[in-house]
A and B are shown apart, each in its own frame.
Chain A
Amino acid sequence: MKLLTSPAPHIRTADSTADVMLDVLIALSPAVAAATYFFGLQAFILSIAGMISAELIEFFIMRVLRKDKNFVPNGSAAVTGLLLALNVSVATPWWVLLIGVLFAIAIVKHAFGGLGQNIFNPALAARIFLLVSFPTAMTTWYPPIGKFFGTYADIQTTATPLAVLKLEGFNSAMQKFTYTDLLFGNIGGCIGETSALLLIIGFLYLVLRGRIKIVIPATYLGTVFAISSIMYLVNPEKFGTPLFHLLAGGMMLGALFMATDMVTSPMTLKGQAIFGVGCGLITMLIRYFGGYPEGVSLSILLMNAFVPIIDRYTQPKIFGRRKS
């Protein structure tokens, strides 16, 4: 018999992992649609390739390496694969994505024990892994051309809004991008991160379905808003506006879909609040002072590491016992 450990209270539900994962995939589909609209067929192919390769790798690991004859694909690997695909540039070759998916599923997920036992978010860890291993492919950005069959061979590369802010200042960023562009996703960047609006719509779907921890995005985005407001008052030209920081880069994708990963975020509400604030703090620290223009993925990965400690110190009180 295999015993499972989980925090109380225990309520049985008819929902399975596969149901949850299907909902997450549905919630991410607007972002995929936006990616396809702005970056063309290639973005769509990358998204699908990420999902299929992740499921295949997981299937192989479970059935062949871990000899689990009862394993049925549950879609969790597809979510990881899709999130990773949404986190790369459209210029990324398919084999780079494949290496990333392999790292995510085989090392970050299954070496730690598989579903529900990974310490780090597999998609995020794989993204950083790719960023270190293939810096050129991962930081070459193309402008959205809006052509379905467009190729990027003869198109000039562009800078992401955050990179412009870092290198040239806020005025220059505002000349190149408007808030509407940032909201709808008409900017260069990872294929899935550009359209803040569609990510929010997908997130609202998850909230309505009751699938997601709302405390983390709330505290994360709240912290980012608070810090960027203060820094805006200090030096608007250098640090940019709060709205800019909320819409630009991977903020929405990270705060709404990556930080909220059920496995790699704290269990208690208090812990989730600490987690969110920590993510926001480190993100802004990296955006303002770090070597990278964007800090969302690094900050969430760093906070993932703190989750065991956060969980340990935010355990709910046990009532009905004598004080020891």
Chain B
Amino acid sequence: MKLFLILLSAMLVNNYVFVRFLGICPFLGVSKKTSTAIGMGLAVIFVLVMSSAISWGLDKILIAFGLEFLRTIVFILVIATFVQFVEAFLKKNNPNLYEALGIYLPLITTNCIILGVAIVNSLSRYTLFEAIFNALGAGLGFTLALIIFAGIREKLELYDVPKPFQNLPISMITASILSLAFMGFQGMIK
């Protein structure tokens, strides 16, 4: 039950994009088409879950040696490794998606959600399973945000948006209204 609540909390109540405002860069960058949004979401989920599991173990070692100040750099190293793995995998197996994601694929390394989740896991003293479920929830929440947003942006392409608002400005406005809507989940899970 606790695992499920952690998952739900990371996905909806404390959605990393709409409530914690992390990962906005790929959120705005890859949300133009639903298909790439799903691909990006899956890549982020994979990197999130794997890197939080590994960094959970490394965190314990760092704490044992009193080296907590190395946390950020170690975590980023782990994340970068998995991103490289995903990149190589996609380049070989799904070149179309690889092309579509472009620069945003290596930039998963700097997606704040991933480092954020690893640090949240460490600060909340989650167990290994809790950390994995937190990462999974964060990834699902990110994917959900990306898919909703891609759907809206595809529709906006057809709309008569006034010139000053086209592309980025209207995306920001949409994101902020979505963020307002996600406030509804506030307070559901303490």
Contacts and interface: CB of A to CB of B under 8 A. Distances in A.
Given A107-B173, A309-B147, A66 B162 contact: yes
Contacts of B169: 111
Interface in B39-53: none
B181 A128 contact: yes
B120 interface: no
B110 to A, nearest CB: 27
A289 B177 CA distance: 22
Nearest to B174: A119
A114 B188 contact: no
B165 A111 contact: yes
Nearest to A5: B158
A304 B169 CA distance: 20
A16 B159 CA distance: 21
B161 interface: yes
A113 B159 contact: yes
Given A111-B170, A309-B151, A302 B181 contact: yes
Contacts of B158: 5
A129 interface: yes
B180 A291 contact: no
B178 A305 contact: yes
Contacts of A5: 158
Nearest to B178: A305
Interface in B141-175: 147-148, 151-152, 154-156, 158-162, 165, 169-170, 173-174
Interface string B22-54: 000000000000100000000000000000000
B186 interface: yes
A322 B174 CA distance: 39
B173 A301 contact: no
Contacts of B186: 290-292
A177 to B, nearest CB: 24
A57 interface: no
Given A113-B161, A309-B151, A302 B156 contact: no
B154 A308 contact: yes
B156 to A, nearest CB: 7
A301 B180 contact: yes
A289 B188 contact: yes
A323 B184 CA distance: 43
Contact of B185 (A110, A111, A290): A290
Contacts of A111: 161-162, 165, 169-170, 173
Given A289-B188, A299-B184, A312-B34, A306 B170 contact: no
Interface of B: 34, 147-148, 151-152, 154-156, 158-162, 165, 169-170, 173-174, 177-178, 180-188
Interface of A: 5, 65-66, 107-108, 110-114, 117, 119-120, 125, 128-129, 132, 282, 285-286, 289-292, 295, 298-299, 301-302, 304-306, 308-309, 312
